Amino acid sequence: MPEVKRLFDRNRMWAERLKEINPDYFSNLAQQQSPEILWIGCADSRVPANQIIDLPPGEVFVHRNIANIVVHSDLNCLSVLQYAVEVLQVGWVIVCGHYGCGGVRASMMDDDNGLIDNWLNHIRNVQRLHSAELELLDDHRRERRLCELNVIEQVRNVAETTIVRDAWKAGAGPEVHGWIYGLGDGLLRQLCVQKRGDGELNVLRKSLEEDCDVHP
């Protein structure tokens, strides 16, 4: 299996490059992790958390799934969030979506996708919630706007968890940010933020899709 061997070769070269820069890099990294950021992102291979914010291993605690969804019944996501907030005591939770999201696109179609349709229904709920706005847009803009709205609603979901609420009541807890990434230009845009003491989510702009790349 030459392809698998190539991956091990690349791993070895990567480790050697880092040790040339700092011989103690891995021994120091092995001692502990103290990231200040929890990143909840899409599983899309084109949106690697550490790389697009140019941070090395150990700086970002990461949870990824299809379409960066936060569901209060998802024990995987909630366990990550609890560990990040209560143990790592991160200062920021970032929900990051991206334009051209395959999960968002699939949720807008009538196709039978099998098991994943149960997951995509969470995005369809976002679409129904904002149907009046979305129905005014053409197909391309509707998809891009739904990518944004999905991020905003997932930020609300994070902020409404007992994990974050309890931390805020105790006078601690993270800021929760919603970002979106442009595949066509590699840039991040901030959509919304909610902090301890905020009465409600602060949506920074109605839509940023005009600022981004025309294509996904």
User: Distance from first CA to last CA of the chain, Å, rounded?
Assistant: 34
The catalytically annotated residue of 63, 77, 98, 147 is: 98
Q: How far apart are CA 127 and CA 139, in angstroms?
A: 13
* Annotation marks residue 72 as catalytic: no
Q: Give the distance from CA 89 to its chain's centroid.
A: 18
* Annotation marks residue 46 as catalytic: yes
The catalytically annotated residue of 42, 96, 147, 192 is: 42
* Annotation marks residue 101 as catalytic: yes
The catalytically annotated residue of 46, 72, 140, 205 is: 46
The catalytically annotated residue of 101, 147, 192, 212 is: 101
* Annotation marks residue 213 as catalytic: no
* Annotation marks residue 141 as catalytic: no
- 134: CB partners within 8 A, 6+ apart: 127, 142, 145, 146, 149
- 185: CB partners within 8 A, 6+ apart: 212, 213
User: So which residues are the catalytic ones?
Assistant: 42, 44, 46, 98, 101
